[in-house]
């Protein structure tokens, strides 16, 4: 109020010393009291909003820790031998620049049958959802061609669109694993509750959403899409095809930070995370000690505790492969996890199985950083693999195609992607 009075006094001096009129505010005593009260109340309201920490939403990007009331099912902390991890559920979307030419201008759908005769193809299709008349009408000379020793079948698009969801489920499940098509072996898989978020994405044209719903089919605890090329071919513009590709590329993942509080045991954290090959915990210790010295502690990305191979790839999508490139699938990613330079021999299943048998032993459950998770079918064939990190988290990549990123996932979500597979666990013999 002293400043306010001083300004009024200066205004009076100015007016008395000048001949020209000036603008001035005049208050009665009651008006001045009301104005002063308004200033006090306004200042108090701003201050209360400024200093009330609970009114601010927690920002995961900041190097601080959330209050207990800021945690929920999507963001929370969990303590264990690994220390205290702060996790948040996220979704990764492939950049538009990574959408391949074959998605912008897709070729017709083709099914490639290797090592079986035309009669065997007919029997396979007839036994798994299609009528004999449908098979005969489709397997005509104009829709068949040869590729080496393989038979290439180009189905009619209107026929594919006419298939019922239960027919797709039976037929496409039978084609899984036969190498008939990439999207039969690696379909888009959505937990039943998450596909609704795809349908509701405002970036998609309503007609494209309706077409997507027509091609989705049920499978175990999820729904799937295998007719990806057909979907894109029926979308009329390149812009809408790119947007559909981006939305379908969304992958649930987990963002992870290690919490360091003033009472955190740095040695305990070091004993868990420092045993991994090519992870130099000595380099991280100064940062952790600095966070421990803060009044309320802080947090650091788990990327700091990953070896170079995993750290440089985490949360990224690979570029479309070129001739001679390695198959960057789950096994290549799992067994190169602690590498400085990737070993492409892990593209060879025989070499990988032999390496596993020589260097790992079977365990009941993963509990140490670096344990291996293998997902096998009823014939004990390994169909997926991942690296255990801590708690319920693993590092993995789904499939060998470029639309799948390297990411950290929850074990329960990974099981949803492979509901028919059984997990088994291995540990390196040196541990």
**Tens digits of residue pLDDT in 22-52:** 444 454 555 555 555 555 555 444 444 443 4
- Res. 140 pLDDT band, cuts 50 70 90: very high
Q: Which residues contact 72 (CB under 8 A, 6 or more apart)?
A: none
Is beta strand 422-428 parallel, antiparallel or unpaired with respect to 360-363?
Answer: antiparallel
Q: Where in the chain is the domain with CATH 3.90.1720?
A: 320-428
Report the residue count for the chain.
Answer: 431
As a whole number of angstroms, the distance between CA 169 and CA 183 comes to: 13
Neighbour-count burial for 234-267, b at 16+ CB within 10 Å, e otherwise: bbeeeebbbbbbbbbbbbbbbbbbbbbbeebebe
- CA 46, 53, 253: angle at the middle one, nearest 5? 130
- If you average pLDDT over residues 336-358, what whole number do you get? 94
Structure confidence at residue 364 (pLDDT) = 96
Of 168, 170, 154, nearest to 215 by C-alpha is 168
- What pLDDT is attached to residue 198? 92
Stretch 394-415: mean pLDDT: 90
Interior/surface letters 355-374, b for 16+ CB within 10 angstroms, e for the rest: ebeeebeeeeebebbbbbbb
Q: What is the pLDDT of residue 326?
A: 86
Question: What number is the average pLDDT over the span 282-291?
Answer: 92
Q: What is the pLDDT of residues 103-125, one digit of tens each?
A: 778 889 999 999 899 999 999 99
Mean pLDDT, the chain, whole residue set: 84
Alpha helices in 318-410 (DSSP H): 330-335, 349-359
pLDDT tens-digit map of 185-241: 888 888 767 788 899 999 999 999 999 999 999 987 789 999 999 999 999 999 999
Q: What is the mean pLDDT of residues 124-150?
A: 94
Spatial contact of 92 and 409, defined as CB atoms under 8 Å apart:
no
**Which architecture, in CATH terms, is 320-428?**
Alpha-Beta Complex (3.90)
Higher pLDDT, 380 or 50: 380
Percent of the chain exceeding pLDDT 70 equals 82
DSSP annotation of 204: S
Q: What is the pLDDT at residue 21?
A: 39
Range in 8-12, 106-110, 314-318 the model is least confident about: 8-12
Look at residue 63 in the predicted model and tell me its pLDDT.
Answer: 53
Q: Write down the pLDDT at residue 73.
A: 66
Strands (E), 118-159: 144-147, 150-153
What tokens appear for 202 in the block? 């405002």
């Amino acid at each position: 109020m002293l400043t306010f009075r001083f300004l009024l006094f200066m205004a009076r001096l100015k007016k008395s010393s000048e001949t020209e009129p000036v603008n001035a505010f005049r208050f009665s005593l009651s008006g001045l009291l009301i104005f002063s009260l308004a200033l006090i109340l306004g200042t108090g309201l701003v201050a209360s909003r400024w200093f009330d920490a609970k009114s601010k939403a927690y920002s995961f990007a900041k190097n601080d820790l959330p209050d207990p009331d800021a945690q929920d099912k999507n963001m929370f902390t969990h303590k264990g031998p690994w220390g205290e991890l702060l996790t948040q559920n996220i979704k990764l979307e492939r950049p538009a620049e990574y959408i391949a030419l074959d998605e912008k201008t897709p070729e017709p759908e083709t099914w490639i049958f290797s090592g079986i005769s035309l009669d065997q193809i007919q029997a396979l299709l007839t036994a798994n959802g299609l009528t004999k008349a449908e098979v005969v009408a489709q397997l005509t000379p104009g829709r068949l061609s040869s590729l080496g020793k393989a038979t290439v079948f180009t189905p009619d698009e209107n026929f594919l669109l006419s298939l019922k969801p239960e027919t797709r489920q039976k037929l496409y499940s039978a084609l899984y694993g036969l190498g008939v098509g990439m999207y039969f072996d690696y379909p888009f898989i959505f937990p039943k509750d998450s596909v609704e978020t795809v349908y509701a994405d405002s970036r998609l044209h309503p007609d494209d959403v309706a077409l997507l719903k027509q091609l989705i089919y049920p499978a175990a605890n999820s729904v799937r899409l295998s007719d990806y090329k057909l979907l894109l071919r029926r979308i009329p513009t390149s812009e809408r095809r790119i947007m559909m590709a981006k939305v379908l590329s969304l992958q649930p993942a987990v963002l992870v930070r290690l919490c360091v509080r003033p009472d955190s045991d740095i040695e305990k954290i070091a004993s868990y995370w420092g045993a991994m090959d090519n992870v130099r915990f000595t380099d991280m210790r100064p940062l952790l000690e600095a966070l421990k010295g803060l009044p309320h502690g802080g947090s650091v990305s788990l990327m700091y505790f990953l070896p170079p191979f995993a750290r440089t790839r985490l949360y990224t999508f690979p570029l479309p492969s070129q001739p001679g490139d390695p198959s960057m699938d789950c096994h290549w990613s799992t067994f190169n996890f602690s590498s400085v330079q990737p070993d492409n021999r892990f593209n060879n299943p025989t070499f990988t199985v032999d390496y596993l048998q020589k260097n790992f032993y079977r365990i009941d459950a993963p509990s140490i950083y670096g344990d291996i998770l293998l997902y096998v079918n009823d014939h004990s064939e390994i169909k997926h693999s991942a690296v255990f990190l801590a708690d319920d988290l693993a590092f993995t990549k789904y499939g060998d195609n470029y639309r799948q990123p390297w990411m950290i996932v929850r074990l329960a979500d990974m099981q949803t992607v492979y509901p028919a597979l059984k997990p088994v666990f291995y540990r390196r013999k040196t541990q």
